[in-house]
Amino acid sequence: TAAFYLSIQGVRVVIYEALPALGGFMKTGIPRYRLPQDVLDKEINFILSQGVEVHLNTVVGKDIKFSEIMQNNDAVFMSIGTHKPHMTGTPGSDAPNVYHAMNFLQRVSLGENIDVGNDVVVIGGGFTANDSSRTAMRLGAKNVIIMYRRREQDRPGYPSLNAEEELEESVEEFVKYEWEVTPFEYVQENGRVVAVKYWQNEMVVEKSGRAKPVPIKDKVHEIKADTVIEATGQETDYSFIDPEYLRNLRLTPQGHVVVDDVGMTSIPGLFSGGDSTNMNKDLISAVRDADKSVMGILEHLNLMDTVYDEKLPILDRWKTYSASAGRRT
């Protein structure tokens, strides 16, 4: 979004992408049954037709330094998402048939045919757990079970319509659920997980009113597993940023990049948007961030006067004048 709207204003735009394909989370995090790839590819190709320069398979911090990008451009827009997985550290999780959900979905989206076997266990209770379970079914799994440590009504997104629809659709595809359970060991044989041991939980209401899962450890349960997928959250990885920049990048206590009203970070000329910046972690918010940062970048580069109109649609809120070509972002 940012690349397109900047390019049509005469700004020279260069994209650095670590993966072999553009599209970010839309390409590798949303299963194809939810977002048809031909629709996304059509949009990407249209953006590229505007003259955007792209470097695929280019890892910033490894193939090119972040500091080099900052020094060689008039402005930088950072849309890096949350791709650093939160792994549970459960004993046995070092087996090759244990995946983090984001890595699993990414590999499938990029065309890898993962052999998940017949029995798949998904750890987690959010939208990503649902996506992983339904993707596993499409890869040939016969039995897919989602294990969540809290109650059904405690799952992320509840009681929104989206959460209800996700649950109903997964059940229609024969995904099963185990509520109020705590997996504590992935049983290995010959270096691969073959089963998951877990405890049933008792939900204890705390003073805050939130129910806390407390494992009942006097009885061990076990379920067969050919594949385990941990959908247990992820965060932003800032390790690619050179220390001299990272120490000046202001973050929230939750690890999100702090930006001003036009998307600029605490580092002049560096803008940020998407999941690494906002708490909503949805596509609409990411597009809004890009739209906001485009206006901020144009102002930062003094390329045009910006007229802001609240009545206009999000991506058409500004009218531009006197664009100057050749500036780099």
Provide the residue count of the chain.
329
| Nearest residue to 27 (alpha-carbon basis) of 52, 7, 47 | 47
Q: Do domains 2-83+236-321 and 86-230 have the same CATH topology?
A: yes
Identify the bridge partners of residue 203 per DSSP, sorted by sequence position: 213
CATH class of 86-230: alpha beta
- In sequence order, the 6+-apart residues with CB closer than 8 A to the CB of 301 are 11, 74, 75, 327, 329
Q: What's domain 2-83+236-321's architecture?
A: 3-Layer(bba) Sandwich (3.50)
- In sequence order, the 6+-apart residues with CB closer than 8 A to the CB of 249 are 238, 241, 257, 265, 266, 267, 270
| Nearest residue to 96 (alpha-carbon basis) of 233, 227, 232, 230 | 227
Domain boundaries, the chain: 2-83+236-321, 86-230
Two tokens, residue 249? 């990048």
92 within 8 A of 186, measured Cβ to Cβ: yes
Q: What is the pLDDT along the chain (329 residues), one digit of tens a residue?
A: 899 999 988 899 999 999 999 998 888 888 988 888 888 899 899 989 989 999 999 999 999 999 999 999 999 999 999 888 899 999 999 999 999 999 999 999 999 999 999 999 999 999 899 999 999 999 999 999 999 999 988 887 776 667 788 889 999 999 999 999 999 999 999 999 999 999 999 999 888 888 899 999 999 999 999 999 999 988 999 999 999 999 999 999 999 999 999 999 999 999 999 999 987 767 788 888 888 999 999 999 987 654 344 433 434 433 333 333 344 44
